[in-house]
Amino acid sequence: MPPGSPLLLKGFEVELYTGRADGTVVGCSAEVAAALEGFVTEPDHRNLEYITAPEADYGRLLALLLEPRQRLRQWLAQRGLTLLPGSTLSLGDSGHFERSDPGNPYHDYIEHTYGTRVVTASVHINLGLEGMEALFAGLRLLRCEASLLLALSASSPFLDGAPTGAHSQRWLQFPLTPELVPIFLDHAHYIRWMEQQLEAGTMQNVRHLWTSVRPNGDDRPYGLNRLEIRICDLVSDPLVLLAITALAELRLWQVQRDPQRWDPLLASSLDPAELARLADGNERAAARASLEAELRDWRDGTPVQARAWLERLLAEVAPLAAELGLSTVLSPLHAVLRQGNQAMVWLRRHREGSTIRAILTSDVASMAAQELRLSAMTGTDPALGLLG
């Protein structure tokens, strides 16, 4: 954690689709990356990515999230384009790959191995941790509860102009690599496993661990200093994204303070192999039904609805949230549990008769308007009194 701060350092890797105001995806990532500092391409040029600098304070995190988007929006507006909500090609076309860098050999591998299964948008949340014991205890807890973070963030119920039957089509189609990832017992176990995967060719490089939560650092698998949560769909509402991040941070604090209660390796009646299967099964269930999914509690495998588990979790972290000044940051999650995540809201509107294009057109506009309001607030007061 940063010196003198009671909170962990945090940063985001945000993937976004670009397109027209009616929700049609239009790729331009190579042009954006060449024109604007801080943006990078993905293998398919219909989405792009920016990364925020590490920061502990949630008010400043909000400013760091919004500033690149405002620069990008200005550039896009000059070309009649905007940013799109959602984590899949809601209106199409997933039948072909649109390369951002045709000469890149790694992109060759991605296209020919996975095709458009990887053409998704998401947000990766990085949380800084020092000490391998704390890092791997935190990894085990977040891996076992990653399905809950997906349930809160699901935003991909459509693909190619039709409902898919899932709430997070992105997570169901994304090629998890390797297919089976264990619950890591410690740093040495992780190093051995990573070296084995690289030697066997199931991973192309140290970045090719595509799983719900992974250790991160500048010298993987040896030098680690953070956890990266990769399971979340794109969260269009920055305040909801900060709330999900705060919940994850609070869980990391809890497992550091009381590992006997919160480290699944110590607190579960299931063995590590059973825990890995449980976590993977929960993630698939959350991708299909998000807050309505029936999951299995990592403590003993008993069934529990995702919404009920999250309600219990919010009650359990409430005292610590008050202690760390995070109660207000956390509060948007209560509205998500009442009203549903973005996927659930979209599916409800679709059942009521709205077309997918109409839903996207409306949310493209509301996403832009909210960012403009929040950017004005962060420009006036970077510390954002509203966040506490």
Helices 238-257, 306-323: inter-axial angle, 10-degree rounding? 80
Question: How far from 121 is each of 34, 168, 203, 213, 368, CA to CA, in Å?
Answer: 20, 11, 22, 17, 17
Residues 67/73, Cβ–Cβ less than 8 Å: no
pLDDT at 298: 98
Residue type, 347: L
Tokens of 263: 């480290």
The sign of the CA dihedral 338, 342, 348, 349 is: positive
The sign of the CA dihedral 169, 174, 175, 180 is: negative
Tokens of 10: 């945090």
Instruction: Return the SS3 of 303.
Output: strand
The widest CA-to-CA distance across the chain, in whole angstroms, is 58
Using 50, 70 and 90 to split pLDDT, how confident is the model at 377?
confident
pLDDT at 5: 60
Tokens of 166: 């899932």
pLDDT of residue 384 exceeding 70: no
pLDDT tens figures, 24-80: 999 999 999 999 999 999 999 999 999 999 999 999 999 999 999 999 999 999 999
Torsion angle (degrees, nearest 10) of CA 198, 203, 207, 209? -110
Q: Is 256 exposed, middle or buried (0-12, 13-18, 19+ CB in 10 A)?
A: buried
Using 50, 70 and 90 to split pLDDT, how confident is the model at 386?
very low
Q: pTM for the complete prediction?
A: 0.95
How far apart (Å, rounded) are the C-alpha atoms in residues 26 and 114?
A: 21
Cis peptide before 93 (omega within 30 of 0): yes
pLDDT of residue 383 exceeding 60: no
pLDDT at 49: 96
How far apart (Å, rounded) are the C-alpha atoms in residues 353 and 358?
A: 10
pLDDT at 379: 73
How far apart (Å, rounded) are the C-alpha atoms in residues 170 and 281?
A: 16
Domains and CATH numbers, the chain: 10-379 (3.30.590.20)
Q: Is 372 exposed, middle or buried (0-12, 13-18, 19+ CB in 10 A)?
A: middle
